[in-house]
Each structure stands twice: as C-alpha cells, then as structure tokens.
A and B are shown apart, each in its own frame.
Chain A
Amino acid sequence: MCVLLSALVHLGLYVPAAAQSMVSAPAEVRVNDTPNDGGASLTVIWTPSNSDGPDARYQILFGDSGVTDPALLKVIAEFPADTRFVKDVKATWWTRNAEPTWHQYAIRSGKDAELKDGTSYTVAVALRKGDDRAISQLLQAASAPNWFNWNQLNNLILALSFGGIVFYAISHAKRNEIFLRRIPGLDAVDEAIGRSTELGKPILYLTGAHDMSDPSTIAAAVILGRVAKRTAAYETELLVPHRDPITMAVCQEITKQAYLEAGKPDLFKEDSNFFITSDQFSYTAAVDGIMLRKKPAANFFMGSYFAESLLLTETGASTGAIQIAGTDSDHQLPFFVTTCDYTLIGEELYAASAYLSKEPVQIGTLRGQDIGKAVILSAIVLGTALATIGAVTGAQWPSLFLDLFKDVK
C-alpha cells in the first residue's frame, strides 16, 4: 500500500517542469494544531487559487518531521478543488480564524497518518489539474490536546448566567414578594370541593407514581395541603391512596397540619392517607375499585403518571365525578385533558404549588425560569428578524448575534 502510494507521488512529481506553470502552488498555507480538541489532529488552511474548479484536485501530503524532499511525503487525502472551504466547517465567529472562502482540511490520526501529540510532522498541499501538479512549501507542525473548547463558550455562558439568574431570583424571593399570576385551575379545585360537600360524597386525591424526590410529587403534596384545608372546613371526607410509603408519611403530616390550621384537628383521620401497593397495575385496580364503590364526587390526579392514567380517569369519569388533574408527564397529558374537567398542564402544576406554598425557593425558581424563557423568546424573535435580513441582503453581520445561539462542537 505504502509503496503504491509513494509510487503515485513519484509519478506526480516527475511531470515535465514546463507544465508546472499551468497551475500555481497553493499559497499562504498554514498548518496548526486543530484547536478545541483532544489532540492528535492538525488543521491545514490555504487560500483559494484561480485554478480551483471541479476538474482540479487538492492533495494533502504528510510525513515525519525533517523531511525536505516532497517525494518522501505520503498523500493522505485528495479531493476536488471546489470543496472543503472554511465556511463548510461549522464554527462561530469567535473561533473562526480564516476567511470563509479559504480552504481547510483537518488531518486526524488514523491508519494513513499516525499523529502523536507533541511530535512535529511535515505537511504540504498540492494542487493537481490533469497532469500538472504544484506543491506548496513544506511546513512543520505538532498537535496538542487543548484545555478548553471555545466553540462551546456560548453554552458555558448560557449555563452560568442562567444558574446565576435562578439563584438571584431565589434570594430575591426570600426578601421580597414576587408576583405570580393566579392559576385558573385552583378555582376549579375549590369548586369541586364545594360540590362534593353538597353531595355529601368523599374526595379522592392521588399524588402520582413517583416518590418525594420528584418535584411533581412535592407539588402534589403541597396542593394536597390546600385541598385538605378545604375539606376540613367543609367537613368532607378525604381519601388519599398512596403508591409510596414515604410519600404517604409526608402527606399524613401535611393533612394533619391542614386540619389544624382549619381549626378542626378532631376531624383529622390518620387513615385518610393509606398505602396500597407500589405496583402500577395493582394500585390502579385498587383505586378503580375505590372509585366504583365509594363514588367520590371529586377526583384529583396530581403528580407524575404513566400508562395507568387513562385507566384511572376513564373509570372516574364513568362514576360522574368532577375530575381535576395536574401533571408534568407530557405523554399522559392528552388523556387527562380529554377525560378530566380541568387539567394543570406541565409547569402549571409547579406554579400552582409555588402559588399556594409561597415558598421562596419554589417561587424564585419559577421566576428564574420565566426570565430564562423571556430571554429565549426575545432571542427567537430577534434572531428570526436578523436571519431574514441576512438572507435578503446577504449581509454577514447578523451572524454576530445568531452564532450566540448556535450549537457547535
């Protein structure tokens, strides 16, 4: 293989000297360590020549350091001369260091060219058109691993600033009152409890499939506090079947507290929160049984749900109960939306819980996320406007902004 290749190089080299004037050697060739990578790669950059075209081809020559005879270099790549431009490589304006119209080729360590970091190698570029071939000057370079990927700078800045915003918002929320809009679903909650009282039927409240480490379960527990307070005030029976023993213990505390706050501690029943089983379908079958036997007037489904959602809400709907759901499990949302009377969609669940709990960490996080969303919203609007201007006028300056939201590796 090697012999064959070097034979090819020889053939290319010993073309008549007169023909060499036809094509000019690639000019301003630069060979550097490929930036922003883990090493073992060199990048070659050179200016376009006026012989560039589909019929001309560039060759990348490679060899050990100290080689001065181009004949001893190996051709490791060959491609049409109208390809491999700097602009084809995905990069941002702060990492691009050559004109977009120049040529660029990255030599990676592989079978043809084994690169060791710190060792220098000889590299040259040749332009071939028909039988003519011209070779640039021979350059020496060594590759090295890098400590930072500058292409991901925007990612890092975004991460740091968003983190900063969240913590700032949390500390701000600890000191000040922050406005949160009222979640309409909460009115529906009160209404459902009211109706249960009128009918003298119990209320069923589920906290979802996950344990207390999931934010949606925490939100469900917070909203349970609110519901329990109302049921205490109206003296309505509350049923909370659980799938996780720890969640049950926490919810028991929350319910007790709610009854205390409502001034009816004597009405609190320890067994209104009860554990069924952690298995998905046994739990579902049991809850369905409760729905059919006790016919609660209102069913609440808060927290995280999986395929069991439809089995629960469909049975609930068949008993004629008012159903209110709140979940961040987006794959189950369609079923809740169709079978329930009111659904807190996704983040509305967290917002409702933050609204009720008034806890600075929750409110602050929500506010921080809102700011994040606002930034993204404006970036999208502004970006679309700039991209359109760029596309219509062919101007380059919009990319100064657009590159900030580009994912480049």
Chain B
Amino acid sequence: MDATVLGAWVATGLTLFIFSFLYKDNPLFKLAEHLYVGVSVGYTIVKAYDTVIVHLIVKPIFEQGEFALLIPVAIGLLMLTRYVPKAAWLSRYAFAFIVGVGSGLAIPRTISSFILKQVEDTVRPVLSLAGGDGVTFSMNLLNPASSINVIIILIGVISVLFYFFFSIEHSGPGKIVARTGVMFLMIAFGAAFGYTVMARMSLLIGRLTDLIEFSDASYGNPTLWLAILTVGVLLVLSRRSSPGEQEK
C-alpha cells in the first residue's frame, strides 16, 4: 500500500478514536491517547538528540574544537543526577545556574518591556493641541489614540490595578473603584471567551477538513469505514459494560 494511503487510514482512525471521547471515555480513546503521548515523547527525544547532541555539542567540539562547550554539558549531566538518590544534591548546582541566570535576565527586561513601556504608553495627554483649533478633546471611539479612549484606558488600568490591591479594604470610594475594576475584568474575560470560541472552532474545522479530504475514494474511503468501525466498537463496548456499570 502507498505510504500516503496508509497515512490517511491511520490519521483518520486516530482522529475518530479521539473524537469518540465526546460520547464517553472508552478504550479506543485511551489507546489513541497513550499512543499520542508515546509518539510525542519519542519525537522530542529524537529532536533533542539530533539538535543538542549532534549539532550543538559533538560537531562544534570535535570539528571546531570549542571545548568550552564541555562546561554546559557537565552542567546538563549534573542535572540528570536527580535520579540517583545519593547524588541528587549535585543536580542543585545545575538548577542554581539555570534559575540564577533566568532570574537575572528576567528582572531588567520585564521592567523595561512590561512596566516602563506599558506605563509610558498609558501616560498620554488627555487634551491635545491640534492644528489651529486650540485645545481639543477628540471623541472618536474608533481611534484608539483619541482623548476619550485615552481616558477609558486610564480608568481601566487604574481600576483593575486597584482591584488587585490587598492592603486596603474595598469600602467607601474604594468599593466603587474596585467594582469598576471588576466590570472591566468581566468585559476582558468576555472578549477573551469570544475570541477563544474562534480558536477552538478552528481546531475542529482543521480536523474535519482532513476527515473530508480522507473520505475521498482515492484513499479507499477511510473516513466512512473507520467511522463505522468506531461506532461499532462503541456499541459493543457499551453493551458489554452496561451490566457491569451497576457494580461500580
């Protein structure tokens, strides 16, 4: 059999097995799911071996003589001592290095990108001197840089920041600010929910497109046959398990 045709059958079968979870958790789903974990772990191991061992360690050291790279190799090996109980403490050196460098790199960069840059962009003049009209206050909602939007963004940032303020009780005027913060949060969550619907539907569309493609006769109609098979197995399984379910 042609590799592509075989591929179409395998891909279709695995897709349907996983979709069978929608009916309920069943052995077909478990089979596909464990296969998924196995294959992706195997894939990662192969990639790590090829990229790290071959291209980043062996080639530079033996072909270009970059012996300094033996240091990270040693650190990496120290990390693996975690699985030898007696020497597990050696792995701390590796983690100390990684976590230390990581934290050090993060501090100034986080401040620059996520604090200074964000504050800088929030702090904008509310009024502007546009041309010869003198001081203007622009009301255009569709222009994100308009005065009205500058004020809305300001209110949003302040009230949400205030909501995550734990040193003061949310009472009196604080309560109003915190409530505004909650409303802003809810709008953002709603927007995220709406946007995510699209993301999840895209995944479904992607899978269904493949299933439609593989239902073609040139592949031997795998979608049709395997769908029948999956449904059949599910029916048999539910028959067999229904008396047993009472015991559980």
Contact = CB atoms under 8 A, between A and B. Distances in A.
Interface in A353-409: 354, 366-367, 370, 373-374, 376-377, 379-381, 383-384, 387-388, 390-392, 394, 402, 405-407
B166 interface: yes
A288 interface: yes
What's the interface size class on B, roughly?
35 or more
Given A381-B158, A387-B125, A376 B167 contact: no
Nearest to B185: A345
Contact of A158 (B115, B129, B192): B115
B152 interface: no
B97 interface: no
B216 interface: no
A257 interface: no
Interface stretch (A19-27, A110-118, A277-285): A277-285
B202 interface: no
Contacts of A380: 119, 122-123, 154, 157-158
A346 B111 contact: no
B23 interface: no
Contact of A405 (B36, B37, B116, B167): B116
Instruction: Name the prevailing secondary structure of the B interface residues.
Output: helix
A249 to B, nearest CB: 15
A14 B127 CA distance: 53
B171 to A, nearest CB: 9
B193 A394 contact: no
B168 A337 contact: no
Interface residues of A, number: 53
A247 to B, nearest CB: 16
Contacts of B113: 407
Given A279-B37, A391-B127, A159 B165 contact: no
Nearest to A401: B123
Interface string B102-121: 00000110011101110110
Given A334-B189, A380-B158, A407-B112, A285 B123 contact: no
A367 B37 CA distance: 42
Nearest to A311: B21
A373 B165 contact: yes
Contacts of A289: 25
Nearest to B41: A279
Interface stretch (A33-41, A71-79, A149-157): A149-157
Contacts of A182: 169
A364 to B, nearest CB: 12
B91 to A, nearest CB: 13
B164 interface: yes
Nearest to B110: A159
Nearest to A406: B120
Interface in A237-295: 279, 281-282, 285, 288-289, 293
Interface of A: 152, 154-156, 158-159, 162, 178-182, 279, 281-282, 285, 288-289, 293, 331, 333-335, 337-338, 345-348, 351, 354, 366-367, 370, 373-374, 376-377, 379-381, 383-384, 387-388, 390-392, 394, 402, 405-407
The 4 closest A-B pairs by CB, nearest first: A391-B125, A383-B123, A407-B116, A334-B193
Interface of B: 21, 25, 29-30, 33-34, 36-37, 107-108, 111-113, 115-117, 119-120, 122-129, 135, 150, 154, 157-158, 161-162, 164-170, 185-186, 189-190, 192-193, 196, 248
